[in-house]
């Protein structure tokens, strides 16, 4: 089974104008306690997320546009996986030098309606099922 068969991944951009943040959401079988033991912080609200950069987690975008997410494990969580990114995603990630990673289970990433996805993501945060970090971002040109 491939990684993308076990995980749902969605890239998004939050914010407006020059205050945009590149976000990478991952859904699938994550236990919050396991994530906090790996340096992530539980998020109780998706409207106010302020996190320090965690060096143990890193996001890399290769020249082909595939993403690799390194985490405190010997193998990457995602390894050169093509993920569709909104137009401003790369710009926001480069500008900030970091990507907001949000990980959880049952956060609604497969939901087709964006408003309902947002509701499910907020519900996951309020029940303590969403962990996050600001991960350093690198790219290969």
Q: What is the pLDDT of residue 50?
A: 76
pLDDT at res. 131:
93
pTM: 0.90
pLDDT at 33: 82
Residue 63: partners with Cβ closer than 8 Å, 6 or more residues away: 140, 141
Over the chain (141 residues), what is each successive 10-residue block's mean pLDDT?
66 91 92 87 86 90 96 94 94 95 90 91 92 95 74
- pLDDT at residue 29, as a whole number: 84
Domain residue ranges in the chain: 3-139
d(CA 104, CA 133): 12
């Amino acid at each position: 089974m491939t990684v993308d068969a076990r995980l749902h991944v969605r890239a998004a951009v939050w914010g407006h104008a020059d205050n945009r943040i590149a976000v990478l959401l991952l859904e699938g079988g994550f236990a919050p306690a396991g994530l906090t033991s790996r340096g992530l912080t539980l998020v109780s609200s998706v409207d106010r997320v302020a996190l320090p950069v965690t060096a143990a987690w890193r996001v890399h975008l290769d020249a082909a546009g595939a993403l690799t997410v390194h985490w405190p494990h010997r193998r990457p969580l995602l390894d050169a996986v093509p993920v569709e990114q909104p137009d401003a995603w790369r710009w926001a990630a480069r500008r900030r030098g970091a990507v907001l990673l949000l990980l959880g289970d049952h956060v609604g990433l497969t939901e087709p309606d964006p408003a309902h996805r947002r509701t499910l993501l907020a519900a996951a945060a309020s029940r303590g099922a969403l962990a996050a970090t600001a991960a350093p971002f690198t790219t290969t040109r």
